[in-house]
Amino acid sequence: MSNNIQSTEGLARVVNLGQFRESKDGYTFDIASDKWVLNKDISITFQSEILSIEEKLLNGFRSTLGRYAEDLSAHHTSNMYFQFQRMVRSTDLKELSVTTILNWKASLSKEHEWYLGALKGFLISWHDFGYYGVTSEIVELLESLTITGNLKGESVLNRCPYTGAYTENEVLAINQELNDLWRNETISFDCYAYINLLQATARRPKQIRDLKACDLYKEGNSYFLNIPCAKKRGLKFRSVSNRLPITEELYLIILNLIAKQKSEIESIFMQKLTDEEQKLIPIFVDFTECKKLREQLLNLDIRLLKSEVLHMRARDLGDIYLRLFEKKQRAISERTGHIIQITARRFRHTRGTNLGRKGIGARIIAEALDHSDSQNVKVYTENTADTVQYIDKAVGKQLAPFAKAFLGRIIEDLTDGERGNDPTAKIPNSNNEAIGACGTNDFCVNGFASCYVCQKFRPLVDAPHEDVLESLYEEKEKRLKTSGSVQFASSRDRLILAVEEVVSKCNKIKAARGEEKNG
Protein backbone atom coordinates (compact mmCIF):
# COMPACT_ATOMS: atom_id res chain seq x y z
CA MET A 1 0.00 0.00 0.00
CA SER A 2 1.46 3.36 -0.93
CA ASN A 3 1.71 6.30 1.44
CA ASN A 4 -0.80 8.26 -0.63
CA ILE A 5 -3.44 5.56 -0.44
CA GLN A 6 -2.77 5.10 3.26
CA SER A 7 -3.16 8.80 3.84
CA THR A 8 -6.50 8.94 2.05
CA GLU A 9 -7.91 6.00 3.99
CA GLY A 10 -6.43 7.22 7.24
CA LEU A 11 -8.03 10.64 6.99
CA ALA A 12 -11.41 8.99 6.61
CA ARG A 13 -10.73 6.86 9.65
CA VAL A 14 -9.75 9.53 12.18
CA VAL A 15 -12.10 9.41 15.14
CA ASN A 16 -13.98 12.61 15.72
CA LEU A 17 -11.98 14.33 18.39
CA GLY A 18 -13.97 15.69 21.29
CA GLN A 19 -15.89 12.46 21.75
CA PHE A 20 -15.88 10.85 25.16
CA ARG A 21 -14.61 7.31 25.67
CA GLU A 22 -14.68 4.95 28.64
CA SER A 23 -11.55 3.22 29.91
CA LYS A 24 -11.46 -0.46 30.78
CA ASP A 25 -11.85 0.54 34.43
CA GLY A 26 -14.96 2.63 33.71
CA TYR A 27 -13.41 6.13 33.75
CA THR A 28 -14.67 8.61 31.14
CA PHE A 29 -12.08 10.60 29.22
CA ASP A 30 -12.16 13.04 26.28
CA ILE A 31 -10.00 11.79 23.44
CA ALA A 32 -9.25 15.40 22.44
CA SER A 33 -8.07 16.32 25.91
CA ASP A 34 -4.38 16.47 26.77
CA LYS A 35 -4.99 14.58 30.02
CA TRP A 36 -6.74 11.21 30.28
CA VAL A 37 -7.64 9.75 33.66
CA LEU A 38 -7.90 5.99 33.10
CA ASN A 39 -8.34 4.79 36.67
CA LYS A 40 -7.71 5.89 40.24
CA ASP A 41 -3.96 5.41 39.92
CA ILE A 42 -3.10 6.00 36.27
CA SER A 43 -3.52 9.04 34.05
CA ILE A 44 -1.84 10.11 30.80
CA THR A 45 -0.71 13.68 30.18
CA PHE A 46 0.25 14.49 26.58
CA GLN A 47 3.63 16.24 26.64
CA SER A 48 4.80 19.00 24.31
CA GLU A 49 6.90 16.61 22.17
CA ILE A 50 3.82 14.54 21.38
CA LEU A 51 1.62 17.55 20.75
CA SER A 52 4.15 18.98 18.28
CA ILE A 53 4.10 16.04 15.83
CA GLU A 54 2.16 16.26 12.55
CA GLU A 55 -1.52 16.84 13.30
CA LYS A 56 -2.82 13.88 11.28
CA LEU A 57 -0.26 11.63 12.95
CA LEU A 58 -1.25 12.94 16.36
CA ASN A 59 -4.91 12.22 15.61
CA GLY A 60 -3.99 8.68 14.57
CA PHE A 61 -1.98 8.21 17.77
CA ARG A 62 -4.84 9.52 19.94
CA SER A 63 -7.32 7.25 18.18
CA THR A 64 -5.15 4.16 18.59
CA LEU A 65 -4.29 4.94 22.20
CA GLY A 66 -8.00 5.54 22.85
CA ARG A 67 -8.79 2.06 21.55
CA TYR A 68 -6.15 0.62 23.85
CA ALA A 69 -7.59 2.53 26.82
CA GLU A 70 -11.06 1.15 26.10
CA ASP A 71 -10.00 -2.45 25.53
CA LEU A 72 -6.84 -3.04 27.58
CA SER A 73 -5.52 -2.24 31.04
CA ALA A 74 -4.67 1.31 32.07
CA HIS A 75 -1.14 0.18 32.91
CA HIS A 76 -0.52 -1.24 29.42
CA THR A 77 -2.08 1.81 27.74
CA SER A 78 0.12 4.14 29.78
CA ASN A 79 3.17 2.07 28.91
CA MET A 80 2.39 2.41 25.19
CA TYR A 81 2.13 6.17 25.56
CA PHE A 82 5.52 6.40 27.26
CA GLN A 83 7.21 4.08 24.74
CA PHE A 84 5.88 6.18 21.84
CA GLN A 85 6.97 9.35 23.63
CA ARG A 86 10.43 7.83 24.09
CA MET A 87 10.67 7.22 20.33
CA VAL A 88 9.48 10.76 19.54
CA ARG A 89 12.07 12.28 21.86
CA SER A 90 14.90 10.06 20.59
CA THR A 91 14.25 10.71 16.89
CA ASP A 92 12.83 14.22 17.00
CA LEU A 93 9.92 12.62 15.15
CA LYS A 94 7.48 14.71 13.15
CA GLU A 95 6.18 11.98 10.84
CA LEU A 96 6.46 8.19 11.04
CA SER A 97 8.35 6.19 8.40
CA VAL A 98 10.45 3.08 7.88
CA THR A 99 13.55 5.27 8.21
CA THR A 100 12.33 6.53 11.59
CA ILE A 101 12.02 2.97 12.92
CA LEU A 102 15.42 1.90 11.57
CA ASN A 103 17.15 4.99 12.96
CA TRP A 104 15.61 4.48 16.39
CA LYS A 105 16.57 0.79 16.43
CA ALA A 106 20.14 1.70 15.44
CA SER A 107 20.37 4.23 18.27
CA LEU A 108 19.29 1.73 20.94
CA SER A 109 21.84 -0.33 22.80
CA LYS A 110 21.33 -4.10 23.00
CA GLU A 111 19.96 -3.88 26.52
CA HIS A 112 17.48 -1.17 25.47
CA GLU A 113 16.35 -2.68 22.18
CA TRP A 114 13.27 -3.98 24.00
CA TYR A 115 11.90 -0.41 23.89
CA LEU A 116 11.08 -0.98 20.21
CA GLY A 117 9.86 -4.49 20.99
CA ALA A 118 7.41 -3.09 23.52
CA LEU A 119 6.06 -0.56 21.00
CA LYS A 120 5.96 -2.97 18.06
CA GLY A 121 2.52 -4.41 18.83
CA PHE A 122 1.04 -0.95 19.33
CA LEU A 123 2.28 0.21 15.92
CA ILE A 124 0.98 -2.94 14.21
CA SER A 125 -2.42 -2.50 15.90
CA TRP A 126 -2.40 1.17 14.82
CA HIS A 127 -2.14 0.01 11.20
CA ASP A 128 -4.74 -2.75 11.68
CA PHE A 129 -7.21 -0.27 13.18
CA GLY A 130 -6.90 1.75 9.95
CA TYR A 131 -5.91 5.10 11.44
CA TYR A 132 -3.51 7.43 9.65
CA GLY A 133 0.18 7.15 10.49
CA VAL A 134 1.47 3.58 10.19
CA THR A 135 1.89 2.23 6.66
CA SER A 136 1.99 -1.39 5.54
CA GLU A 137 5.70 -0.91 4.81
CA ILE A 138 6.31 -0.11 8.49
CA VAL A 139 4.36 -3.22 9.53
CA GLU A 140 6.37 -5.41 7.16
CA LEU A 141 9.58 -4.00 8.62
CA LEU A 142 8.46 -4.55 12.22
CA GLU A 143 7.45 -8.15 11.52
CA SER A 144 10.81 -8.86 9.85
CA LEU A 145 12.89 -7.59 12.78
CA THR A 146 14.26 -9.84 15.50
CA ILE A 147 14.32 -7.66 18.58
CA THR A 148 16.13 -8.45 21.80
CA GLY A 149 13.65 -8.89 24.63
CA ASN A 150 13.60 -7.07 27.96
CA LEU A 151 14.45 -10.10 30.10
CA LYS A 152 15.93 -13.03 28.25
CA GLY A 153 16.83 -11.83 24.75
CA GLU A 154 14.02 -13.85 23.17
CA SER A 155 12.40 -12.95 19.88
CA VAL A 156 9.47 -10.61 20.42
CA LEU A 157 7.47 -12.28 17.68
CA ASN A 158 7.15 -15.58 19.51
CA ARG A 159 7.37 -14.34 23.10
CA CYS A 160 5.56 -11.01 23.33
CA PRO A 161 2.45 -11.59 25.46
CA TYR A 162 0.68 -8.66 23.83
CA THR A 163 1.38 -9.17 20.11
CA GLY A 164 2.83 -12.66 19.59
CA ALA A 165 1.25 -16.09 19.46
CA TYR A 166 -1.23 -17.10 22.13
CA THR A 167 -0.26 -19.84 24.59
CA GLU A 168 -2.44 -22.94 24.93
CA ASN A 169 -3.88 -21.55 28.16
CA GLU A 170 -4.69 -18.22 26.53
CA VAL A 171 -6.50 -19.99 23.69
CA LEU A 172 -8.58 -21.96 26.21
CA ALA A 173 -9.37 -18.75 28.11
CA ILE A 174 -10.39 -16.95 24.91
CA ASN A 175 -12.66 -19.81 23.83
CA GLN A 176 -14.30 -19.98 27.24
CA GLU A 177 -15.04 -16.25 27.12
CA LEU A 178 -16.34 -16.54 23.55
CA ASN A 179 -18.72 -19.34 24.45
CA ASP A 180 -19.91 -17.60 27.63
CA LEU A 181 -20.53 -14.28 25.86
CA TRP A 182 -22.58 -16.00 23.15
CA ARG A 183 -24.48 -18.12 25.68
CA ASN A 184 -25.34 -14.99 27.68
CA GLU A 185 -26.34 -13.13 24.48
CA THR A 186 -23.70 -10.45 25.09
CA ILE A 187 -22.42 -10.82 21.53
CA SER A 188 -24.34 -11.58 18.35
CA PHE A 189 -24.22 -14.91 16.54
CA ASP A 190 -22.47 -13.16 13.64
CA CYS A 191 -19.73 -12.02 16.04
CA TYR A 192 -19.49 -15.51 17.54
CA ALA A 193 -19.14 -17.07 14.09
CA TYR A 194 -16.54 -14.55 12.92
CA ILE A 195 -14.23 -15.08 15.92
CA ASN A 196 -14.55 -18.83 15.49
CA LEU A 197 -13.63 -18.52 11.81
CA LEU A 198 -10.65 -16.28 12.52
CA GLN A 199 -9.31 -18.67 15.11
CA ALA A 200 -10.02 -21.94 13.31
CA THR A 201 -8.85 -20.93 9.83
CA ALA A 202 -6.04 -18.43 10.64
CA ARG A 203 -7.08 -16.60 7.48
CA ARG A 204 -7.05 -12.85 6.87
CA PRO A 205 -10.25 -10.83 7.41
CA LYS A 206 -10.31 -10.05 3.66
CA GLN A 207 -10.51 -13.76 2.88
CA ILE A 208 -13.29 -14.37 5.38
CA ARG A 209 -15.36 -11.44 4.10
CA ASP A 210 -15.20 -12.97 0.57
CA LEU A 211 -16.87 -16.22 1.67
CA LYS A 212 -20.21 -17.27 0.17
CA ALA A 213 -22.63 -20.01 1.15
CA CYS A 214 -21.41 -22.30 -1.65
CA ASP A 215 -17.95 -22.39 -0.06
CA LEU A 216 -19.24 -24.59 2.77
CA TYR A 217 -19.81 -28.26 2.01
CA LYS A 218 -19.70 -31.80 3.33
CA GLU A 219 -18.23 -34.96 1.82
CA GLY A 220 -19.23 -38.09 3.71
CA ASN A 221 -18.23 -37.46 7.32
CA SER A 222 -15.73 -34.73 6.39
CA TYR A 223 -16.36 -30.98 6.32
CA PHE A 224 -14.69 -28.35 4.16
CA LEU A 225 -14.54 -24.63 3.47
CA ASN A 226 -13.28 -23.19 0.18
CA ILE A 227 -11.48 -20.01 1.21
CA PRO A 228 -10.73 -17.40 -1.50
CA CYS A 229 -7.05 -16.54 -1.85
CA ALA A 230 -5.76 -13.11 -0.92
CA LYS A 231 -2.66 -10.96 -1.44
CA LYS A 232 -1.95 -12.39 -4.88
CA ARG A 233 -1.57 -9.88 -7.67
CA GLY A 234 -3.89 -9.94 -10.64
CA LEU A 235 -6.56 -12.10 -9.03
CA LYS A 236 -10.17 -11.15 -9.54
CA PHE A 237 -12.82 -11.42 -6.83
CA ARG A 238 -13.05 -15.08 -5.69
CA SER A 239 -11.20 -16.34 -8.77
CA VAL A 240 -8.98 -18.77 -6.81
CA SER A 241 -9.78 -20.67 -3.62
CA ASN A 242 -8.08 -23.24 -1.42
CA ARG A 243 -9.93 -26.08 0.28
CA LEU A 244 -9.60 -26.18 4.05
CA PRO A 245 -10.79 -29.11 6.21
CA ILE A 246 -12.83 -27.90 9.19
CA THR A 247 -14.49 -29.46 12.22
CA GLU A 248 -18.12 -30.46 12.36
CA GLU A 249 -18.63 -27.82 15.06
CA LEU A 250 -17.40 -25.00 12.79
CA TYR A 251 -19.42 -26.44 9.91
CA LEU A 252 -22.62 -26.25 11.96
CA ILE A 253 -21.86 -22.71 13.13
CA ILE A 254 -21.42 -21.48 9.55
CA LEU A 255 -24.43 -23.47 8.34
CA ASN A 256 -26.65 -21.80 10.93
CA LEU A 257 -25.22 -18.39 10.09
CA ILE A 258 -26.01 -18.92 6.39
CA ALA A 259 -29.62 -19.83 7.26
CA LYS A 260 -29.88 -16.65 9.35
CA GLN A 261 -28.46 -14.46 6.55
CA LYS A 262 -30.79 -16.03 3.98
CA SER A 263 -33.84 -15.26 6.12
CA GLU A 264 -32.81 -11.63 6.64
CA ILE A 265 -31.98 -11.05 2.96
CA GLU A 266 -35.33 -12.48 1.86
CA SER A 267 -37.08 -10.26 4.40
CA ILE A 268 -35.34 -7.08 3.18
CA PHE A 269 -35.83 -7.73 -0.54
CA MET A 270 -39.23 -9.37 -0.02
CA GLN A 271 -38.46 -12.19 -2.41
CA LYS A 272 -37.80 -15.91 -2.13
CA LEU A 273 -34.32 -16.94 -3.20
CA THR A 274 -33.87 -19.82 -5.60
CA ASP A 275 -31.50 -22.68 -4.78
CA GLU A 276 -28.89 -21.20 -7.10
CA GLU A 277 -29.24 -17.75 -5.51
CA GLN A 278 -28.96 -19.19 -2.00
CA LYS A 279 -25.53 -20.61 -2.83
CA LEU A 280 -24.26 -17.10 -3.60
CA ILE A 281 -25.30 -15.49 -0.29
CA PRO A 282 -22.35 -13.83 1.47
CA ILE A 283 -21.59 -15.48 4.80
CA PHE A 284 -21.12 -11.99 6.25
CA VAL A 285 -23.71 -9.65 4.74
CA ASP A 286 -23.63 -5.87 4.51
CA PHE A 287 -27.27 -5.32 5.50
CA THR A 288 -26.89 -1.54 5.31
CA GLU A 289 -26.08 -1.91 1.61
CA CYS A 290 -28.97 -4.34 1.19
CA LYS A 291 -31.42 -1.80 2.58
CA LYS A 292 -30.01 0.96 0.35
CA LEU A 293 -30.50 -1.22 -2.73
CA ARG A 294 -34.03 -2.06 -1.66
CA GLU A 295 -34.82 1.63 -1.20
CA GLN A 296 -33.80 2.05 -4.84
CA LEU A 297 -36.41 -0.62 -5.67
CA LEU A 298 -33.75 -3.01 -6.91
CA ASN A 299 -34.35 -6.74 -6.80
CA LEU A 300 -31.78 -9.41 -6.17
CA ASP A 301 -30.44 -11.24 -9.18
CA ILE A 302 -27.58 -13.60 -9.96
CA ARG A 303 -25.36 -10.81 -11.24
CA LEU A 304 -25.66 -8.88 -7.98
CA LEU A 305 -25.18 -11.98 -5.83
CA LYS A 306 -22.06 -13.02 -7.74
CA SER A 307 -20.45 -9.64 -7.04
CA GLU A 308 -18.95 -8.40 -3.77
CA VAL A 309 -21.58 -5.68 -3.35
CA LEU A 310 -23.49 -7.45 -0.57
CA HIS A 311 -20.37 -8.52 1.34
CA MET A 312 -19.29 -6.69 4.47
CA ARG A 313 -16.02 -4.79 4.25
CA ALA A 314 -13.08 -6.55 5.89
CA ARG A 315 -12.48 -3.47 8.01
CA ASP A 316 -16.08 -3.54 9.23
CA LEU A 317 -15.66 -7.15 10.33
CA GLY A 318 -12.86 -5.95 12.56
CA ASP A 319 -14.53 -2.75 13.72
CA ILE A 320 -17.85 -4.40 14.52
CA TYR A 321 -17.26 -8.03 15.47
CA LEU A 322 -13.63 -8.30 16.56
CA ARG A 323 -13.92 -4.97 18.38
CA LEU A 324 -17.10 -6.05 20.18
CA PHE A 325 -15.52 -9.28 21.34
CA GLU A 326 -12.35 -7.54 22.48
CA LYS A 327 -14.35 -5.01 24.53
CA LYS A 328 -16.59 -7.60 26.18
CA GLN A 329 -14.19 -10.49 26.83
CA ARG A 330 -12.32 -10.74 30.13
CA ALA A 331 -9.92 -13.61 29.40
CA ILE A 332 -6.76 -13.21 31.47
CA SER A 333 -3.26 -14.10 30.29
CA GLU A 334 -1.32 -16.21 32.75
CA ARG A 335 1.83 -14.45 31.47
CA THR A 336 0.78 -10.89 32.29
CA GLY A 337 -2.19 -11.05 34.64
CA HIS A 338 -3.93 -8.65 32.25
CA ILE A 339 -6.82 -9.06 29.82
CA ILE A 340 -5.63 -10.71 26.59
CA GLN A 341 -5.37 -8.49 23.53
CA ILE A 342 -7.36 -9.96 20.63
CA THR A 343 -6.26 -9.40 17.01
CA ALA A 344 -6.66 -11.34 13.78
CA ARG A 345 -2.90 -11.16 13.33
CA ARG A 346 -2.28 -12.99 16.62
CA PHE A 347 -4.53 -15.88 15.56
CA ARG A 348 -2.37 -16.25 12.44
CA HIS A 349 0.83 -16.06 14.48
CA THR A 350 -0.53 -18.74 16.79
CA ARG A 351 -1.24 -21.14 13.93
CA GLY A 352 2.19 -20.56 12.38
CA THR A 353 3.99 -20.86 15.72
CA ASN A 354 2.22 -24.09 16.65
CA LEU A 355 3.05 -25.66 13.29
CA GLY A 356 6.68 -24.51 13.52
CA ARG A 357 6.99 -25.93 17.03
CA LYS A 358 5.85 -29.31 15.71
CA GLY A 359 8.65 -29.29 13.15
CA ILE A 360 6.42 -28.60 10.14
CA GLY A 361 8.36 -27.24 7.17
CA ALA A 362 8.10 -23.71 5.77
CA ARG A 363 6.29 -24.81 2.59
CA ILE A 364 3.47 -26.51 4.50
CA ILE A 365 3.17 -23.61 6.95
CA ALA A 366 2.94 -21.21 3.98
CA GLU A 367 0.11 -23.31 2.57
CA ALA A 368 -1.67 -23.46 5.94
CA LEU A 369 -1.52 -19.66 6.25
CA ASP A 370 -2.22 -19.13 2.52
CA HIS A 371 1.09 -17.39 1.80
CA SER A 372 2.12 -17.28 -1.85
CA ASP A 373 5.65 -18.46 -0.93
CA SER A 374 7.58 -19.69 2.11
CA GLN A 375 9.83 -16.65 2.49
CA ASN A 376 7.56 -14.88 4.95
CA VAL A 377 7.03 -17.89 7.22
CA LYS A 378 10.68 -18.70 7.95
CA VAL A 379 10.32 -16.95 11.29
CA TYR A 380 8.12 -19.84 12.41
CA THR A 381 10.68 -22.49 11.42
CA GLU A 382 13.88 -20.65 12.31
CA ASN A 383 12.70 -19.39 15.69
CA THR A 384 11.11 -22.38 17.36
CA ALA A 385 11.58 -21.34 20.98
CA ASP A 386 8.77 -23.06 22.86
CA THR A 387 6.12 -20.53 23.83
CA VAL A 388 4.59 -22.97 26.30
CA GLN A 389 5.99 -22.68 29.81
CA TYR A 390 5.90 -26.15 31.32
CA ILE A 391 3.66 -25.93 34.35
CA ASP A 392 4.82 -28.10 37.22
CA LYS A 393 3.85 -27.73 40.89
CA ALA A 394 6.18 -24.79 41.53
CA VAL A 395 5.24 -22.87 38.39
CA GLY A 396 1.53 -23.63 38.80
CA LYS A 397 1.38 -21.90 42.18
CA GLN A 398 3.05 -18.81 40.69
CA LEU A 399 0.87 -18.57 37.58
CA ALA A 400 -2.52 -19.39 39.11
CA PRO A 401 -3.17 -15.87 40.53
CA PHE A 402 -2.48 -14.36 37.09
CA ALA A 403 -4.49 -16.85 35.01
CA LYS A 404 -7.72 -16.44 37.01
CA ALA A 405 -8.96 -19.71 35.53
CA PHE A 406 -11.37 -20.28 38.44
CA LEU A 407 -14.58 -18.36 37.80
CA GLY A 408 -16.87 -19.71 40.52
CA ARG A 409 -17.49 -18.88 44.18
CA ILE A 410 -16.25 -20.74 47.28
CA ILE A 411 -18.88 -21.78 49.82
CA GLU A 412 -18.78 -23.03 53.44
CA ASP A 413 -21.66 -25.51 53.13
CA LEU A 414 -23.47 -27.23 50.24
CA THR A 415 -26.67 -25.38 51.16
CA ASP A 416 -24.91 -22.06 50.44
CA GLY A 417 -25.11 -22.80 46.71
CA GLU A 418 -27.88 -21.59 44.40
CA ARG A 419 -29.79 -24.88 44.70
CA GLY A 420 -29.84 -24.94 48.49
CA ASN A 421 -30.81 -28.34 49.93
CA ASP A 422 -31.13 -30.05 46.53
CA PRO A 423 -29.13 -33.29 47.00
CA THR A 424 -28.45 -33.56 43.26
CA ALA A 425 -26.42 -30.32 43.42
CA LYS A 426 -23.64 -32.16 45.26
CA ILE A 427 -20.52 -32.83 43.17
CA PRO A 428 -18.50 -35.85 44.37
CA ASN A 429 -14.91 -36.74 43.50
CA SER A 430 -13.68 -40.21 42.52
CA ASN A 431 -13.85 -41.27 46.20
CA ASN A 432 -17.45 -40.03 46.47
CA GLU A 433 -16.38 -37.15 48.72
CA ALA A 434 -18.22 -33.86 48.19
CA ILE A 435 -15.96 -31.22 46.64
CA GLY A 436 -18.66 -28.62 45.97
CA ALA A 437 -22.08 -27.80 44.57
CA CYS A 438 -23.35 -27.15 41.06
CA GLY A 439 -25.07 -23.80 40.62
CA THR A 440 -27.14 -24.83 37.60
CA ASN A 441 -29.58 -27.57 36.59
CA ASP A 442 -28.01 -27.92 33.14
CA PHE A 443 -27.07 -31.45 32.06
CA CYS A 444 -23.30 -32.04 32.17
CA VAL A 445 -21.15 -35.10 31.38
CA ASN A 446 -17.68 -33.57 31.67
CA GLY A 447 -16.67 -35.17 34.98
CA PHE A 448 -16.05 -33.54 38.36
CA ALA A 449 -12.56 -32.19 37.55
CA SER A 450 -13.89 -30.01 34.73
CA CYS A 451 -16.14 -28.23 37.22
CA TYR A 452 -13.20 -26.12 38.41
CA VAL A 453 -13.22 -24.05 35.18
CA CYS A 454 -17.02 -23.59 35.21
CA GLN A 455 -18.41 -20.30 36.53
CA LYS A 456 -21.35 -22.21 38.10
CA PHE A 457 -19.09 -24.33 40.33
CA ARG A 458 -19.26 -23.69 44.08
CA PRO A 459 -16.30 -25.49 45.71
CA LEU A 460 -16.50 -26.31 49.41
CA VAL A 461 -13.83 -24.60 51.45
CA ASP A 462 -13.00 -27.78 53.42
CA ALA A 463 -13.13 -30.25 50.49
CA PRO A 464 -10.02 -32.25 49.46
CA HIS A 465 -9.10 -30.07 46.49
CA GLU A 466 -5.40 -30.82 47.03
CA ASP A 467 -6.11 -34.48 46.10
CA VAL A 468 -7.68 -33.36 42.82
CA LEU A 469 -4.67 -31.16 42.12
CA GLU A 470 -2.20 -33.94 42.90
CA SER A 471 -4.01 -36.34 40.54
CA LEU A 472 -3.90 -33.76 37.73
CA TYR A 473 -0.15 -33.29 38.11
CA GLU A 474 0.37 -37.07 38.16
CA GLU A 475 -1.77 -37.45 35.04
CA LYS A 476 0.28 -34.73 33.32
CA GLU A 477 3.58 -36.46 34.08
CA LYS A 478 2.22 -39.76 32.74
CA ARG A 479 1.14 -38.02 29.52
CA LEU A 480 4.60 -36.54 29.10
CA LYS A 481 6.37 -39.86 29.64
CA THR A 482 3.98 -41.70 27.32
CA SER A 483 3.92 -39.20 24.43
CA GLY A 484 7.12 -37.20 24.86
CA SER A 485 5.07 -34.14 23.86
CA VAL A 486 5.01 -31.13 26.18
CA GLN A 487 2.06 -29.73 24.23
CA PHE A 488 -0.01 -32.89 24.69
CA ALA A 489 0.97 -33.17 28.36
CA SER A 490 -0.05 -29.53 28.91
CA SER A 491 -3.53 -29.86 27.40
CA ARG A 492 -5.21 -29.60 30.83
CA ASP A 493 -3.04 -26.81 32.22
CA ARG A 494 -5.90 -24.35 32.51
CA LEU A 495 -7.75 -26.84 34.69
CA ILE A 496 -4.62 -27.22 36.85
CA LEU A 497 -4.38 -23.46 37.27
CA ALA A 498 -8.06 -23.30 38.25
CA VAL A 499 -7.63 -25.97 40.96
CA GLU A 500 -4.44 -24.25 42.17
CA GLU A 501 -6.45 -21.05 42.60
CA VAL A 502 -9.22 -22.85 44.51
CA VAL A 503 -6.68 -24.47 46.84
CA SER A 504 -5.02 -21.11 47.46
CA LYS A 505 -8.31 -19.30 48.17
CA CYS A 506 -9.54 -22.05 50.45
CA ASN A 507 -6.29 -21.97 52.41
CA LYS A 508 -6.64 -18.21 52.88
CA ILE A 509 -10.20 -18.61 54.16
CA LYS A 510 -9.11 -21.35 56.58
CA ALA A 511 -6.16 -19.25 57.74
CA ALA A 512 -8.51 -16.33 58.42
CA ARG A 513 -10.70 -18.65 60.49
CA GLY A 514 -7.69 -19.55 62.64
CA GLU A 515 -6.80 -15.92 63.17
CA GLU A 516 -10.36 -15.17 64.28
CA LYS A 517 -10.25 -18.04 66.80
CA ASN A 518 -6.85 -16.98 68.13
CA GLY A 519 -8.00 -13.39 68.31
Nearest Cα to Cα of residue 242 among 282, 198, 201, 285: 201
Question: Which residues, other chains included, contact 49 with Cβ-Cβ below 8 Å and sequence gap of 6+?
Answer: 85, 88, 89
Q: What pLDDT was estimated at residue 2? A: 35
d(CA 393, CA 368): 36
With bands split at pLDDT 50, 70 and 90, how would you rate the model's confidence at 3?
very low
Q: What is the pLDDT of residues 458-494, one digit of tens each?
A: 999 999 999 999 999 998 888 888 877 776 777 788 8
Top-confidence residue, 39 or 500: 500
Domain ranges of the chain: 20-144, 168-332, 396-517
Q: What is the pLDDT of residues 259-289, one digit of tens each?
A: 999 999 999 999 999 999 999 999 999 999 9
Q: Are 434 and 476 spatial neighbours (Cβ–Cβ below 8 Å)? A: no
Residues in the chain: 519
What is the torsion angle, in degrees rounded to the nearest 10, for the CA atoms of residue 130, residue 135, residue 141 and residue 144? 30
Instruction: Tell me the DSSP string of 54-84.
Output: -HHHHHHHHHHHHHHHHHS-HHHHHHHHHHH
Percent of the chain whose pLDDT exceeds 90: 40
With bands split at pLDDT 50, 70 and 90, how would you rate the model's confidence at 17?
very low
Q: What pLDDT was estimated at residue 93? A: 85
d(CA 348, CA 476): 28
E runs forming strands in 214-370: 216-219, 222-228, 241-246
Q: What pLDDT was estimated at residue 465? A: 95
Phi, psi of 457, deg, nearest 5: -80, 135
- pLDDT at residue 369 above 70? no
- Mean pLDDT across 241-268: 93
- Mean pLDDT across 65-77: 88
d(CA 51, CA 35): 12
- pLDDT at residue 237 above 60? yes
- pLDDT at residue 182 above 50? yes
Neighbours of 8 (CB within 10 A): 12
Q: What is the CATH number of domain 168-332?
A: 1.10.443
- pLDDT at residue 370 above 80? no
What is the torsion angle, in degrees rounded to the nearest 10, for the CA atoms of residue 36, residue 37, residue 39 and residue 42? 80
Comparing 399-403, 424-428, 467-471, which segment has the lowest mean pLDDT? 399-403
HSE-CB at 13 with a 13 A cutoff on CA atoms is: 25
**Would the pTM count as exceeding 0.75?**
no
Q: What pLDDT was estimated at residue 319? A: 87
Q: What pLDDT was estimated at residue 384? A: 45
- Mean pLDDT across 72-86: 89
DSSP state of 167: P
What is the C-alpha end-to-end distance of the chain, expressed in Å?
70
- Mean pLDDT across 509-514: 84
- pLDDT at residue 400 above 70? yes
- Mean pLDDT across 126-142: 90
Q: What pLDDT was estimated at residue 267? A: 94
H or E segment and range at residue 44:
strand 43-45
Percent of the chain whose pLDDT exceeds 70: 83
